[in-house]
Structure 1
Amino acid sequence: MSTASDQASGRREPGELFGPRFELFADVLAIGLVTAVACLPLVTVPAALATACTLLRRRQRYAEPCTAGHYVRALRARRRRADLTAGGLLLAFGALFAADAALATAGLPGAVPFALFLATAGTALAVLALRACAQEEAADNWPAALRAAARNTVRDLPGSALVLLALATAAVCAWVLPPLLLLVPGPLAAALTAVERRVSA
């Protein structure tokens, strides 16, 4: 049996068929699948993604199991009222953004600069929301997670660019091959966790 230090370093013990990195890949795919299912009500998207980031972070730090069962238990243990509030605000912002986007494409005067502003604001808010889900504070304090995410978004511009690249990659993969939509939350959560881990390191 491999130890936590072996798993953290990626070493493979004699006789092992698959190394820890291959196991991490399998865990990321499993977490992606259960996260996609947990996101189906839409209002649960922040909590689902934050739970995935928490499990992947604890796996990296403490070599804890990262299975679907652990995910479900961790999701049930969250503060549901705060999570639903965060999800409701996310849906409200999404609806407002969609309405503004419809107005920007309606051919009204000033539509082009407004569309550019809307794209810039939407990109910044998407990065902020994703980085908030990867914060440790997202487990029980969404306002603190948003403050930490806003600070990191501004101070760590390369990390914000990596988050945006991860989101774009996930979107392209899901668009090219729609069944991948059930798996992309896992790699996305892994990318978010790695970016925030990079900041703390």
Structure 2
Amino acid sequence: MTATRTRERGELFGPRFELFADMLIVGLATALAAAPVVTAPAALASACDLLRRRQLYAEPATAGRYAAALRARLRAPGGARRDLTAGVLLVAAVLLVAAYAALAGAGLPGAGLFAVALAAVAAAATVVGLRACALYGTPGPGPYGWGAAVRAAARRAAGDLPGSGLVVLALATAGACAWMLPPLLFLVPGPLALALTAVELRVEGSGR
């Protein structure tokens, strides 16, 4: 059941503003935790988990709680190995896409069609990966591990196209904000994690 709090008389900021502040704190903590790149999946998954618990149970989303959640995730049996493996696979996938994009830009025959197909595959994989981060470690048929989270995310991505479209829009918005104002790069993980969490809670609330 979602916990909510109404604004008291004379209170300057309501709970929505508190969510905004928590989102920025989580975003900054996530950006710092994801700086080594290979820790990015674990960092984003921890942010989504913290924001999910804030929405469902009204637990504060502070930098200290984020650090504790990330430590607990990495210290779980096999947790660090699984999370770092996911990070290495992420880096490998990005490099592979970059290599194929370079080939497409080299003017080879059929490069235009290949570039379109590559963009579609990369977009689909990105949506599945982001939705997996929002699912990893959350309650399900037992907590999702990365394998189960990716499979569940693939099913949801295909069965919930509006939600997948929202994920693409959230990622594009985050990227545009970071491109226009580079200092926002340290804050955009927060809004992105909030969007991913909201998309998954929307699916779960609809019973799909």
After TM superposition, the score normalised by the length of structure 1 is 0.94
Gaps of 5+ in 2: 74-78
Shift of 1:140: 5.8
Shift of 1:5: 4.0
1:190 partner SS: helix
1:13 partner SS: coil
How many pairs align? 195
Gaps of 5+ in 1: none
Match of 1:131 in 2: 131
Matched-pair contact (CA < 8 Å) for 1:137–1:144:
no
1:21 equivalent to 2:25? Answer: no
User: Using the alignment, how far apart are the partners of 2:4 and 2:125 within structure 1?
Assistant: 38
Matched-pair contact (CA < 8 Å) for 1:166–1:188:
yes
Match of 2:96 in 1: 96
Shift of 1:40: 0.5
Shift of 1:65: 1.2
Shift of 1:13: 1.5
Shift of 1:137: 3.6
Match of 1:189 in 2: 193
Matched-pair contact (CA < 8 Å) for 2:128–2:154:
yes
1:146 equivalent to 2:141? Answer: no
Percent identity of paired positions between Structure 1 and Structure 2: 65
Q: State the 4+ residue runs in structure 1 displaced beyond 3 angstroms.
A: 136-140
Task: Report the aligned-residue RMSD.
Answer: 1.3
Match of 2:166 in 1: 162
In the TM superposition, 1:108-123 aligns within 5 A as: 108-123=108-123
The aligned amino acid for 1:105 is G
Matched-pair contact (CA < 8 Å) for 1:134–1:189:
yes
User: Using the alignment, how far apart are the partners of 2:83 and 2:91 within structure 1?
Assistant: 12
Match of 1:176 in 2: 180
